[in-house]
Amino acid sequence: MTVAPHFQFQNDTLHAEQLALNRLADEFGTPLYVYSRQALRDAWESYRVAGEGRKLLVCYGMKANSNLAVLQEFARLGTGFDIVSGGELARVIAAGGDPGKVVFSGVGKQVWEIEAALQAGVKCFNIESEAELERVAQVAARLNRIAPISLRVNPDVDARTHPYISTGLKDNKFGVPIEDAPRIYARAQQLPSLNIVGVDCHIGSQITEVSPYLDALDKLIKLILTLKDQGVDLHHLDLGGGLGIRYTDETLITPTDLLSKVFVALDAHGLGHLEIVLEPGRSMVGNAGVLLTRVEYLKHGETKNFAIIDAAMNDLIRPTLYDAWHSVEAVQPRAVTADTPKYDLVGPICESGDWLARDRQLALEQGDLLAIMSAGAYAFTMASQYNTRPRAAEVLVDGDQVHVIRPRETLDSLFASERLLP
């Protein structure tokens, strides 16, 4: 049984902290995203402890979960933010985050987004192409600003993760080849509206080994020393994010596992003065959330049994997009025996790809409540309104209290901005 630490059974009922999930489903309906506030705090603490005594800035990769309440909690704890759009910058500001702790990543920054980031005073632009370097310089010059920049380099390191979430190989769209970096930094030195402050690297997501990071770090250290010889003194080294979480039985690495080795390597090369920037997303929120869903119908077939649930691929697209595994727990489970059937958990959407789990042995009856575990990251943020389905509500549990942090969408709201023809 795979249950995240802050979601445990009490009196044979699955709870979020001190609240029974069936009570939350009854009060707020399903599908329903439920998050644990303490899980957010504990995830942050694991990074704080790992960097104790060193210069470390944790910039939460908010594409994983961008609810304002989640951002607010992290901002209060002292995190920065890794953003990839002007919309995400607006969310950081609305949540009370410090723009001076924001790193702006992403391969397609538009002029208005660059302007907004400059006016807000972000910590750094992570530059992902030579064309972007020129555009940021031009926009900054026009606004009479100095743009702090870091070049995102691609070290061609295999993070050994799913191809869709691997970002550090030559075939990926992100960053510039590391061998081109000295030349591009030399160009940046010629542009008076730019201030070179760092170097950035991100090799992928759901990484469960330290070795890919150390392979990338070895190349980064060589680059930093080369840049120093050409007169580029960096202030920070951004190692990206990507630490994995437990969906099934993965052996994980902790922030301390990673950073302890990073600090040793940097100190050995006289680079211990560099501020380390990390961009964790999934590891901060992934196991802080579950998706509650109710069984609408059971359909038994000759080759397959289907549990048709009220959650669907528009609520959680990871399984059909990545073939991702999420553990499924009955909120009030019945005993499972050798004769208990296996079910595919499928939603109401008119697509054969609409499934959330396959071949799960569960003792089910119509109306049962299920929890899709590890649904705090890349879940609601990737949700849609396909088939004109309102997006789920989101609630955050704090001990024995619950806060609605996004009400369920109404049907009217789904087309309120549309216009009929005259």
Q: Which of 166, 61, 179, 174 is nearest to 109 (CA)?
A: 174
Does position 165 have pLDDT exceeding 70, yes or no?
no
Does position 176 have pLDDT exceeding 50, yes or no?
yes
pLDDT at 1: 45
Beta-carbon contacts of 147 under 8 Å, excluding residues fewer than 6 positions away, are 114, 118, 125, 136, 137, 139, 140, 193, 194, 195
Lowest mean pLDDT among 153-157, 196-200, 349-353: 153-157
Query: Tokens 């949540």 belong to which residue?
Result: 95
**CATH code of the region 105-280:** 3.20.20.10
Q: What is the pLDDT of residues 18-44, one digit of tens each?
A: 999 999 999 999 999 999 999 999 999
How far apart, in Å, do the first and last CA atoms of the chain sit? 57
Does position 166 have pLDDT exceeding 50, yes or no?
no
Model confidence at 3, pLDDT cuts 50, 70, 90, reads low
**319, two tokens:** 């399984």
pLDDT above 70: percentage of residues in the chain: 96
| Predicted TM-score of the model (pTM) | 0.94
Domain-by-domain residue ranges, the chain? 7-36+286-414, 105-280
Model confidence at 205, pLDDT cuts 50, 70, 90, reads confident
Does position 132 have pLDDT exceeding 60, yes or no?
yes
pLDDT at 250: 80
Q: Which residues is 58 bridged to in the sheet?
A: 278
pLDDT at 167: 46
pLDDT at 164: 41
Average pLDDT, the chain: 94
Fold classification of 7-36+286-414 is: Lyase, Ornithine Decarboxylase; Chain A, domain 1 (2.40.37)
pLDDT above 90: percentage of residues in the chain: 89
The arithmetic mean of pLDDT across residues 336-355, rounded, is: 96
The arithmetic mean of pLDDT across residues 138-146, rounded, is: 98
**236, two tokens:** 């920070």
Does position 168 have pLDDT exceeding 60, yes or no?
no
Beta-carbon contacts of 287 under 8 Å, excluding residues fewer than 6 positions away, are 4, 5, 6, 39, 43, 245, 246, 373, 374, 376
Q: What is the pLDDT of residues 256-269, one digit of tens each?
A: 999 999 999 999 99
Does position 387 have pLDDT exceeding 70, yes or no?
yes
Does position 160 have pLDDT exceeding 70, yes or no?
no
Q: Known catalytic residue: 201?
A: no
pLDDT at 404: 98
Does position 350 have pLDDT exceeding 80, yes or no?
yes
Does position 309 have pLDDT exceeding 80, yes or no?
yes
Burial-class residue 283 by CB neighbours within 10 Å (0-12, 13-18, 19+): buried
